[in-house]
Amino acid sequence: MTESASRKILAANWKMHGSKAMLGAYVARLKPVEAVELVLFPPVGYLGLAAELIGKMAPFVALGAQDTHERETGAFTGETSAAMIADLGGRYVIVGHSERRRYAHESDERIAEKAVAAFRAGLQPVVCVGETLEERTAGMAQTVVKRQLEAVAKALPSADYARLIVAYEPVWAIGTGRSATSAQVEEMHAFIRQARESALGSRTLSTVLYGGSVSENSAPGFFNLGSVDGALVGGAALDAERFVRIAELLRTAKC
């Protein structure tokens, strides 16, 4: 499933956290939040169970995986294809998270192939981009994000590139309690929109999320920026009540 218009999305990236018990308790505490799409990214092994538990809440809670392999099938031990994610009930997939770039040494080109695989399987990819602290300090933040976006733009047909969801996650803000400032986010989101529009040669209503130490305290500062459509939340989204509270902040924000 793909969308072209920007919309409010609050996503929970559980990373390598959780258990069957936690998933059950979490889903029981989720509440619909008007005009906000909640997307859960549990570890892929829990995706099938999550789909069962979500049940009737499916219209307002979607599911996704934190990564996919770029190939459709084959001898790739330990990997999960985009078609398998869809088969398990996933509608979204994160590709290019900085933890994959760092620990699994994923290149821009490989990440782009994963985005292609996601669209091929009917999933909505959420491509993460963002600079390290060293890159920001060196004045390279926009150069890095541009390079990361260009690899995806090169690999995708423009209709898919227009529908891509981008999450700006500055690496130095992830799990550090030190989120980016509103000015930094505003500037980078405007840059991302502009880079995409110039690659596409047209205006696009694409969805751009922010991620990096989003909490109840930091969220309003981002959600009230016109350029932020929602967030990809890590630590604070491991607690269903906190996740719903942040979603409420998104609902009432002017973005």
Minimum gap (Å) between residue 40 Cβ and ligand 13P: 12
- List 97, 99, 113, 189, catalytic entry: 97
In one-letter notation, the amino acid at residue 208 is V
In one-letter notation, the amino acid at residue 221 is G
Cβ burial, residue 117 (10 Å; 0-12/13-18/19+): buried
**Residues found near ligand 13P in the complex (CB under 6 A):** 13, 97, 169, 174-175, 211-214, 232-236
Contacts of 225 (CB under 8 A, 6+ apart): 182, 185, 186, 189, 255
Q: Is 105 part of the annotated catalytic residue set?
A: no
Residue number with the smallest Cβ distance to ligand 13P: 234
- List 70, 99, 106, 169, catalytic entry: 169
Q: Is 97 part of the annotated catalytic residue set?
A: yes
Task: Give whichever of 45 and 177 is closer to ligand 13P, judged by the CB atom.
Answer: 177
Minimum gap (Å) between residue 13 Cβ and ligand 13P: 4
Minimum gap (Å) between residue 10 Cβ and ligand 13P: 11
Task: Give whichever of 15 and 196 is closer to ligand 13P, judged by the CB atom.
Answer: 15
Task: Give whichever of 199 and 230 is closer to ligand 13P, judged by the CB atom.
Answer: 230
Contacts of 7 (CB under 8 A, 6+ apart): 37, 207, 229
Cβ burial, residue 203 (10 Å; 0-12/13-18/19+): exposed
Task: Give whichever of 164 and 199 is closer to ligand 13P, judged by the CB atom.
Answer: 164
Closest CA to 33 of 249, 253, 247: 247
Minimum gap (Å) between residue 36 Cβ and ligand 13P: 17
d(CA 255, CA 250): 8
> Annotated active-site positions, please?
97, 169
